[in-house]
Amino acid sequence: MRRPVARKLSVLAVSVAVVSVGASAPPSTASGGTPAKVPVAVGYGGAVASVDADASAAGIDVLRKGGNAVDAAVATAAALGVTEPYSSGIGGGGYFVYYDAKSRTVRTIDGRETAPLSADSGLFTENGKPLAFADAVTSGLSVGTPGTPATWQKALDAWGSKRLGTVLKPAERLARDGFTVDDTFRSQTAANETRFRYFPDTAKLFLPGGQLPVVGSTFKNPDLARTYAQLAREGVGAIYRGDLGKDIVATAVKPPVDPASGWKARPGKLSAKDLAAYRAKIQAPTRTTYRGLGVYSIAPSSSGGTTVGEALNILERTDLSEASRVQYLHHYIEASRIAFADRGRWVGDPAFEDVPTKELLSQRYADSRGCLIKDDAVLTSPLAPGDPRHPAACGGAGTAAPTTYEGENTTHLTVADKWGNVVSYTLTIEQTGGSGITVPGRGFLLNNELTDFSFSPANPAVHDPNLPGPGKRPRSSISPTIVLDRHGRPVVALGSPGGATIITTVLQTLTGFLDRGLPLVDAIAAPRASQRNAATTELEPGLYDSATRTALEAIGHAFTLNPEIGAATGVQRLPDGRWLAAAETVRRGGGSAMVVRPAK
C-alpha cells in the first residue's frame, strides 16, 4: 500500500524543531576544550552528526571556513581516527555516499579493503580446516589493503573544495593536543587489553604507563599527528607508494608481537604491489523507491544497499503506519529474515561474482518473496534464498545458509552543507580494535577486515560468493543511505555501525521515521530488533523486557538479548531550509549533533 509522506514529514519536522530549541553548535575546535554532546541540533549553514563531539566539531570547523559537505566529512572522519581509533582510521576502509545538490544526483565510493593479490579461497584454512576466528582476527593474515586514505582523496578530487592537507588540520591538532577519555573509550580499551598487550607498540600507545586510560584524562597520539602531517605534505601516495606504506606492509607481514606473550600472530600476505594496485571506486548507488521516495545506498561489494532495498520493497505492500506495534515489528523482522537469506546466496564482490543487483532490487522479486510473510506465523530460519532472476511466488531456490559473523564495531557520520550537498559515510577497521596491531611509530591500528570473508563455504552444497580471492573485496553490511523526495531533494540521510546489524538498524530507523512518524532522533533512539536469517531475533532491553516481546512470541518468534545494537546518526532537511542533525541519545555514551548556526 502506498501512501503520501510529504505532508507527514512536514508535520514531523515541525515537532522535531520544537523539541530541539536550545541545541547549539560548540565553538571551533581551535578554541580548545571538548564540546558537550547533544543528540539533536537544528539550524542553518550545514550540519554534522557523529558519535563523538570532537569529531563533529572538526566537521563544523571546516563548514564554518567555507568547506562543503565532502570536505567536512573527510575532516570528521580523520578526527574519528583520533577519538574512535578502535572503530576507524587510515588503516581501514569504508563506503562513501554523496548527494550533489546542483545536479540532484547521488554517487558513491567503494573504499573497501582488498585481499592481497596472493590470496586464494584457502586464506583462512590450516591443514584443511578453518582457523579459529580469534586466531585469524589478531594476526597479519586478517589485514586487507587499506582503502580509507584513497577514499578521502577520491572524494575530495571529485566533489570537494579543499585540499587534503587543509581538512586534516583539525584532526592533526586533536591528535597532538589530545582529547578527553570517556567511559566508552576506556571500556573498549579494557575489552581489548589482553590482545593489545601482545603487541608492544599497541600497548605503549593505548595502555599508557601499562595501565588503562583514566576517564577524564587527556589522551594524546603524537605519532598519529605526525602521520597526518605527512599525509598533508605528501598526499596519500605516502601510503600507496611511499615509506608509510612500507611500514604498513612490514607490520602486517611480520607482526611485532611480544615474544613473552606466547601469542602466535600469523604473518600476513600484504605487499607493496597490493598498495600500489589499490583503487577506491566511484560507482553508481543502489536505488529503490519506497512510499514514493527515492532510497539510495551503496552497491556491492557491500550488501547494505541491496539488502535494505529488498526489505523495503517487501514492506512496500504493507501499511506500517496503521499497523499495531506488534504487527509492525513482525513484518519488519520477517522482511529482514528474507532479505538476509538472499544476501547470503547472491552478494559478493561484483568484480569476481555475478551479483544480480538489479533483480534483487526489483519490486517483482520482492513481491515473490514477500508473500511468504503471514500475519499469524513465523518463517523458519535459516530460510532458503530465492532466485531473483527467475522469481517464483512464495518459493525458495537452493539450500539455506546461515549468515556469517561480522565484527560489530565501525563508525558512521552524516554531513550536510549550506548548498544542500549531503554525505553519508561509514568507515571501519572491522572488529573493535581491528587486528590489534599498531604500525610502529605511526599511531594507528591495522584492520582485520579480511575476516569478513567466509573462512570456508557456509554450505558446501552451495556456491559461496564471499570466499577470499586475489584482490577481492570482502562482503560488507555497511549501509550509508540518502533518501530523496519526488523532486530529487534530500529528505533524510543516515547510517550506522554494527557489523551485520547495520542493515537492520538502517531499515528499522527508516521505517520508524518514514512510516511510524517518529522524529529522527526518536527513530534513532528506539529499541532495536535484528533478524539476520537466524533461529532467533536479537532484541535490545527496551523490547526484550516488554509486553511486545510476549506478543511476538505468541506468534512464534524467538529472541535473544543484545545489550546494544548499532549507533546511528542522521541529518534531515526541514521544509524551511534548516538542517536537523540527530545522533544517539544513549548508545556508545550518546552521539554528537551540531549545526553551523543554531536556530533561535
Known binding positions: 112, 452, 476-477, 499
**434's torsion region: left (phi>0), alpha (psi -120 to 50) or beta?**
left
* Helix intervals (H) in 178-221: 183-196, 200-206
Measured CA to CA, the distance from residue 538 to residue 368 in angstroms comes to 26
Dig out the grid coordinates for 372 from the structure: 511468504
User: Residue 436 class from Cβ within 10 Å (0-12 exposed, 13-18 middle, 19+ buried)?
Assistant: buried
Quick one: which of 591, 597, 596, 585 has its CA closest to 19? 585
Query: In the block, which residue shows the cell 499497523?
Result: 323
- Among this protein's residues, is 501 annotated catalytic? no
How would you class 211 by CB atoms within 10 Å of its CB: exposed for 0-12, middle for 13-18, buried for 19 or more?
exposed
d(CA 307, CA 326): 23
Nine cell digits for residue 484:
530523496
Residues near 548 by beta carbon (within 8 Å), at least 6 away in sequence: 325, 326, 329
Identified catalytic residue from 138, 410, 432, 569: 410
Annotated binding residues for L-glutamate: 112, 452, 476-477, 499
Q: C-alpha grid cell for residue 551?
A: 506478543
Rounded to whole angstroms, the Cα distance separating 504 from 516 reads 16
* HEC string for 85-125: CCCCCCCCEEEEEEEECCCCEEEEEEECCECCCCCCCCCCE
Catalytic residues: 410
